[in-house]
Structure 1
Amino acid sequence: MKSFLISFLFPICWFLFLVFPVDTKASNGKAEDKYKALTYQRIPSFPALAFDSTLIGPFFKKYAKLKYLRPEVLELYRKHEYNYLWYDNNGRNEFADLLFDKINNLDQEGLQIKVPYQEKIRSLFLEADSNENPELEVELLMSSLYFFYADRVFKGIERTKSEELGWYLPRKKQSYVNRLDSLLLDPSLINKPDKDLLGQYYLLKSALEDYRNIEKKGGWSPIVLPPKMKSLKPGDTAAVILQIRNRLFTSGDLKNDSKKNEYDKELLAGVLKYKQRNAFTPDPELQSKHIKDMNVPVQERIKTLMVNMERCRWLSPSLTKNEQYIVVNIPSFTLTYFKNGKPALISKVVVGKSLNKTVVFTGQMSQIIFSPYWNVPPSILRKEILPAISKNRNYLAKNDMEWVGNRVRQRPGELNALGKVKFVFPNSHTIFMHDTPAKSLFDREQRAFSHGCIRLEKPRELAIKVLEDDKNWPVEKIDEAMNREVEKTYNLKTKIPVYIGYFTSWVDREGEVHFYDDIYGHDERLLETLLTD
């Protein structure tokens, strides 16, 4: 997980010493009349011009779709003693114009949402004389639009909705009241990367722009593989190669389109790059599954980028500030162990199958268990072990299992389903990471086979990396503990954060955008929420 954070200007000190008065309640009916009378009143004196706080209530009655933003608007104006914020001596200030432009171009932020009262706002904002003197209606609209923009671009959908979509990683918490001070002081900050968004957000945003440019140019045409043609290999010649070459050139995997119908070295380089970006085994053979993937329309890739930009909004960059942490990305079937801000180990993983989805959440790795017992979960005991015992009385002995009370466990050893080492980060989902005797599964491109836990291709290497600064655990001792067939638990001196995430597109350190299959269907549900929210 990468974060390129840009320093954000702190609020200027005089803002911090303002006295916060208490909001005054409007009397029945009178405030509404007064509000109507003052809505378009021109007030020539400025700056330090205050307005009647009782007029905020009637404003939100008129603009009921923005009412949910009222608490933040009230907090803002209490802080600033109910003074106008969107006007200066020259009229409406620069940031108001920049924000209005941002609101009208939310698609650049990967959002396709309707702005409440957009046409009304446009008409008020673009009136010839509306930028000269403070107008209360425009003032409160701009503050509401600011919080609307911050909520959608910086925060994303509500926590309850993201949890309904199976996302249990911690959501960031921040106030956007103080941030407005900085933006009013330096409006250009609105066009710079924000410190509260992952650097990955801006990388995906750049990729979104690239793919939309491809879309504007017509995208790419479907490749039609001849019915009798099962695959293509270097040296082959065929008319369909012209289509493949053009497709890879359009997506940037080929630097140029030579128009040759031969599968030459130049095309091979483009094929390998495409496969690497799209989670395929990087071999030279082109099969029908690769062509099928190439035929995914650019519009679908754009949607994928949009939903992953949304996921970036939910995460705080502070998550990546730990000296060490582990990230598992479910769709890419990959674990990355970061140490001092750099990848110290990358390992393939096996995750839960669709009926036993691996949960998106975070935990703190606190233990390593060498030569572990496997305590068979009740559901597996009921659905798999007991039926197997009924068919074969020797099933337990054959699989080195034993009864312990009313439960079954598998002894440490070569047959153990957890392999030779287990990494524990306590959680309510009963998910952990472990070795596995089924090594052949790591050769597959799609690796969703477990009951929810995470199987590691490189468990020994992870144990060595985690314990490399612990003098009590040299490599020889780790190997001995993994092969003694006697369970041994070690409590880590420093807990390591583990983040299990779900990203179906990601931009790497070289700027290449990767796409992964939506194995659990999370993208589709999130996209539906984004388009209807």
Structure 2
Amino acid sequence: MRKILLLTFLAVAVLGCKKDPKSKPKTDEPLVKHEPGSVLFDSSEVVKLEDKQLTAFYRAQNFHTFWVDSTKRKKAETILAEAEKYGLDPKDYYLEKIRKYEKKYLDLSQDDHLTYDFLLTQSVRRFMIHVSCGKLNPYHIYPNWDLAQPSFNVNKTLAEAVSGDSLPKVISKIEPQHVVYKRLKKALAYLDTFGKDTLKQIVFTEKIKRGDSSENVIRIKRRLMFWRDMERTDSISPWYDRKTANAMKKFQLRHGLIPDGIAGAGTVAALNFTKIQRKQQVIVNLERWRWFPHEMGRQYVIVNIPDYRLRVIKNGDTVDTRRVVVGKEKRRTPVLSSTFTDVILNPTWTVPPTIIKEDLGPDAAKDTNYFRNRRLKIFNSKGEEIPSSKWNSAKPNNYRYVQDPGDDNSLGNVKFNFRNRFTVYLHDTNHRDYFSRNYRSLSSGCVRVQNPLPLAAYLINDSIRWNLDKINEVVATKETTYIRLKDKTRIHQLYWTAWMNKRGELEFREDIYNYDADLFKRLRQ
């Protein structure tokens, strides 16, 4: 009976930190003696459950029961009961079953005592893994994901935490320590301070601006009041007055929209998100931050894909911010973490396979001036440059296409390289007008950076040989120049759509790749 009860639970509980198929979790056995008053049991009882991690844990306890102290059991139960504070589901930790066992603890048979001990150990282990590393494995969900696995020795950590009566402190320690994660937890609690959301949806028909009157204005005002962007003492009339427009600007700023005070289609769509939807959005972003690197580095560049922003961080402070253009929905910018290796001034551009297949091949077949207009050189399999007249449109993948440096080069004036399996990079662009747009999911996967030369100077970090004036001089020559970076600056391309800013305000961004709803569904399966 015990095996039937536990096997289903254990099958997923031990896998929580196995994010990266290329890495393995730490499995050192905890060197902790068994608790006084614990009961010795036959090792076969745990071995037959076919869980190597659980067997290792109890081997370190000399195959004695672990949860002898009622106070420690109660602390464990309390932590599991507070799973929702972390955006987790208490049902994942068999809380009700644990409570039933605890209620009749003194009357349990020896067999049930052992079942309960195993169950509580695995429930707490599972919770610790979920809090630290996340519940789900992103490699099983996203093909464009490449982050190293967060890991810790869960057996050793659990044994030492419970034996030292420090389980709550240890839970806080193994959580991500990044300020965004900490504020997301506060955001989750803050959302619970809002009342019940019973407001009707706003049906968009036309833009509403200051001076307009409409029945929709009443619904808009109620939404703005609900989200505390507008004072509840303000008028609920159908007039879109100055106070309403100003409140709308505040709402728009919190949602990454153009703060023009006009209720357009995008603004109304954001207003129509319910409290439950926003809470779910915070929960999925808590999960993501458990997947993200727990140590970002002393100096790093971080891109938040749906926010279209790049930030340069040094010693915990943001020292620079840039607008970026990211991959369109069908050519998504990958989530990854790497280290910058070099900067190329006046780079050439070699057309990648996806663009050859989906853009160049079909377009060039219809336009005889395609290659000339784009200054693209064509090279055959022998590396020989050939004229466009000898290009075989039926076999576009048989060639290599290279664009020389220049004002119309697709990579612009600079390219930032870092190792990754997607062959993506940061770069300048010849379409700088895109940065003025609010929606900037427009590239083929690489991240385009606004005004990138100061970033190049920062990463090169050589004020004598490669200051900004020198970089501009080299760019003016149009000659390709490679600069190897001596500093190990990390680059993190991440994806998160909700956070709490330093003023304690909730911020949300459009889920441009439609990840959020699907991820929440998976979390609650």
Superposition TM-score tier, normalisation by shorter sequence:
0.7 to 0.9
Distance 1:128 1:157 in 2: 29
Aligned-residue offset at 1:159: 3.5
Alignment check: 8 A CA contact 1:334 1:348 kept: yes
Alignment check: 8 A CA contact 1:245 1:257 kept: no
Matches for 1:55-454 after TM superposition, within 5 Å: 57-58=44-45, 67=49, 70-88=51-69, 92-93=70-71, 95-112=72-89, 114-115=91-92, 118-127=95-104, 129=106, 135-159=113-137, 161-162=139-140, 164=142, 166-180=144-158, 181-187=160-166, 189=168, 193-199=172-178, 200-214=180-194, 217-219=195-197, 221-224=199-202, 227=205, 229-233=206-210, 235-236=211-212, 238-261=214-237, 262-318=239-295, 320=296, 322-404=297-379, 405=384, 406-454=399-447
Aligned-residue offset at 1:492: 0.6
Deviations, residues 383-404 of structure 1 (Å, cap 9, x unaligned): 4334444444333232222223
What residue in structure 1 maps to residue 42 of structure 2? 54
SS at match of 1:317: coil
Distance 1:120 1:113, change over 3 A: closer
Q: Which amino acid aligns with 2:370?
A: Y
Alignment check: 8 A CA contact 1:363 1:499 kept: yes
Deviations, residues 79-103 of structure 1 (Å, cap 9, x unaligned): 3434544334xxx12x311221332
Deviations, residues 188-237 of structure 1 (Å, cap 9, x unaligned): 735973344234333222212232443xx32151354684x42212x545
SS at match of 2:191: helix
Distance 1:450 1:410, change over 3 A: same
Distance 1:85 1:471, change over 3 A: farther
SS at match of 2:146: coil
Aligned-residue offset at 1:155: 2.3
Alignment check: 8 A CA contact 2:329 2:441 kept: yes
What residue in structure 1 maps to residue 11 of structure 2? none
What residue in structure 1 maps to residue 456 of structure 2? 463
1:499 aligned residue (492, 495, 499): 492
Distance 2:368 2:502 in 1: 54
Aligned-residue offset at 1:175: 1.3
Q: Which amino acid aligns with 1:474?
A: N
SS at match of 2:225: helix
Alignment check: 8 A CA contact 2:417 2:425 kept: yes
Alignment check: 8 A CA contact 2:378 2:402 kept: yes
SS at match of 2:52: helix
SS at match of 1:494: coil
TM-score, with structure 2 as normaliser:
0.81
What fraction of aligned residue pairs are identical, expressed as a percent? 26
Instruction: State the aligned residue count.
Output: 474
SS at match of 1:461: helix
Alignment check: 8 A CA contact 1:372 1:418 kept: yes
Distance 1:85 1:283, change over 3 A: same
Deviations, residues 242-282 of structure 1 (Å, cap 9, x unaligned): 43232122212235441253544543442222111111012
Alignment check: 8 A CA contact 1:350 1:450 kept: yes
Distance 2:202 2:304 in 1: 33
SS at match of 2:306: coil
SS at match of 1:149: helix
TM-score, with structure 1 as normaliser:
0.80
Distance 2:300 2:490 in 1: 5
Unaligned regions of 5+ residues in structure 1, if any? 1-14, 21-46, 62-66
Alignment check: 8 A CA contact 1:169 1:501 kept: no
What residue in structure 2 maps to residue 25 of structure 1? none
Distance 1:435 1:485 in 2: 14
Alignment check: 8 A CA contact 1:242 1:259 kept: no
Q: Which amino acid aligns with 2:496?
A: F
Q: Which amino acid aligns with 2:265?
A: S
Q: Which amino acid aligns with 2:135?
A: I
Deviations, residues 277-312 of structure 1 (Å, cap 9, x unaligned): 111012222223212220112221121111111111
Aligned-residue offset at 1:413: 0.9
Distance 1:388 1:165 in 2: 28
Q: Which amino acid aligns with 1:127?
A: K
Distance 1:106 1:218, change over 3 A: same
Alignment check: 8 A CA contact 2:76 2:167 kept: no
Distance 1:401 1:54 in 2: 73
